[in-house]
A and B are shown apart, each in its own frame.
Chain A
């Protein structure tokens, strides 16, 4: 194993002499960098002579080290005169190359941090720009939908059904599992206080109305936001990076009609269907609890059917159409907004999921207020 380089430093009147010996490679330089820098920095004389006669080997790290020593600040100014002696001629070009670079030892960053006010202003501007982009995109989407309605054969139905299969059929297990567990847990939690009043059977009313009106649509939408919005964003984002969308544009094809419309139609079709499935499985989860409490299944069924109205059911389903459009549109627009770089797709995917969930929550609130005033 090679020995680390050695150094001696002597100071006479106005002249500091540094003698280095051994191997000045990356490993060797690492061993002496700090000690030599401190020692040279402490020397008061303005002239530095670096004697490299005993240096056996030097690579670019060694050359950078010598260049760094020559440029060291001394009382705020660089050494007035630095001189290198004894360097083997083979290593002279390395030093010349290293000295070509303007070395500034302090770590600096071109990205200066923003003040609170600047950051807030930037966030507000970003939000407004984002809202504007989203609204104009929705407008473009509606235009594409309307023009496609005039000529439905122009819609890419093959792609649409493929998307419907991926977003819908493939999501059945996860939607079913979550809905069943939510129904089961909610029934358990509700059964405990209701039992005190001997009203366990009314758990069926709670499960029926909550699942059909709120939980079924909401759970389905959140699963789809996590599953399909992210997939759409990643898919379209990758296409953007690979210039596939540019290729579509220059071929005269509208990317909105070609890529986004099939996804929006597919998700708008499958969200209500998945919600119906989620409603049934959620109610089934409640049934397990009721059965365990000793009531017959028929009693649970009658209780649900008599309490939940068609209005409740359709109210939940209408929401799902809107959720479907929102999730698909958000996923696609976030993918469409993907910038360049490997982290960009990840950022788009995250933004797609977050935006979808926020929009689902906001629109669910809007629907609740609307239904309240409509008496639904």
Chain B
């Protein structure tokens, strides 16, 4: 039986004590590809920011490998942060450093490895995302897809057990997006990494996600949870069905010849 990697308990997400999501409870298992889904502006990225310890939630707990990210301080929080990797939406690569230097940075900061070892490991990480040829390029010289892959390589620098990806396929062409999906599947298969992905790219979700939760602004909570292929077929919640099937109106369910 798989272990729990992340446990979110009674989380109220928001800023300045203003909750935009209330009482969220869910678990993410080790090695799972878990997608947080929802319409634009519903608070997906805010939940992600709470989970990676960037901003404190209004209330609630986020237990990562048995430790609460919300209350962790100092060295405890630092060691917790070293167990996770985050790839931000636009890559957030340091513009003054080459791609290789970006990947080497966490290794330099957190390990006692000699420089040649750091470079070797960083190059292996770039190899994982098929970016060896771009090692000496600056982030500005990379395409959108390359930048996202470089961000994933940097997030994996310290061999984290959990990778958080914010909108990894946003703005990418279908082929690059499919390549990124394959990379996520490959990394999970070979390294057993747990992926927490915030996205609303339906094709990508259906291709890679084991489980998804869907957030909704109006109810300020989770309105659906389960494997995405199952949610796509489930007509019990019209909003979820319409979302997965790109229907604009509820009546489309009735008019759908397949239904």
Contacts and interface: CB of A to CB of B under 8 A. Distances in A.
Interface of A: 25-27, 29-31, 33-34, 59-61, 63-65, 67-68, 93-94, 96-98, 100-111, 339-344
Contacts of A105: 116, 119-120
A63 B117 contact: no
B156 interface: yes
Contacts of B125: 60
Contacts of B159: 25-26, 59-61
B117 A100 contact: no
Interface string B107-124: 100111111110111011
Interface stretch (B133-141, B195-203, B242-250): B133-141
Closest 4 CB pairs of A and B: A101-B127, A93-B190, A341-B95, A110-B136
Contacts of A340: 140
9 contacts: A25-B159, A33-B113, A33-B117, A64-B124, A65-B120, A101-B128, A105-B116, A110-B136, A342-B94
Contact of B127 (A26, A100, A342): A100
Given A27-B111, A29-B113, A101 B121 contact: no
B158 interface: yes
A105 B119 CA distance: 7
Given A59-B159, A343-B95, A67 B116 contact: no
A19 B107 CA distance: 26
B120 A107 contact: no
B54 interface: no
Q: Is the interface of B mostly helix, strand, loop or mixed?
A: helix
A342 B117 contact: no
A33 B123 contact: no
B116 A107 contact: yes
Given A26-B110, A342-B94, 12 more contacts: A25-B159, A26-B111, A29-B121, A30-B113, A34-B114, A59-B159, A64-B120, A65-B121, A67-B124, A98-B127, A101-B128, A103-B124
Given A27-B111, A105-B119, A97 B127 contact: yes
B126 interface: yes
Interface of B: 94-96, 107, 110-117, 119-121, 123-128, 132, 136, 138-140, 156, 158-159, 189-191
Nearest to B92: A342
B129 to A, nearest CB: 10
Contact of B123 (A31, A97, A101, A109): A101
Nearest to B160: A59
A104 B127 CA distance: 12
Interface centre among B125, B139, B189 (most CB of A within 10 A): B125
Contacts of A344: 95
A107 B119 contact: yes
B120 A60 contact: no
B124 A63 contact: yes
A108 B126 CA distance: 15
B57 to A, nearest CB: 29
A26 B113 contact: yes
A60 B111 contact: no
A93 B189 CA distance: 9
Contacts of A96: 190
A60 B128 contact: yes
A98 B124 contact: yes
Contacts of B121: 26, 29, 60-61, 64-65
A60 B94 CA distance: 23
Nearest to B116: A105
Given A64-B124, A98-B124, A101-B132, A26 B107 contact: yes
Contacts of B191: 59-60, 94
B127 A341 contact: no
Interface centre among B124, B132, B140, B189 (most CB of A within 10 A): B124
Given A27-B111, A343-B96, A60 B156 contact: yes
Nearest to B158: A26
A30 B95 contact: no
Nearest to B138: A341
B88 to A, nearest CB: 13
B133 to A, nearest CB: 10
Contacts of B117: 29-30, 33-34, 64-65, 68
Contacts of B136: 108-111
B115 A107 contact: yes
B112 A30 contact: yes
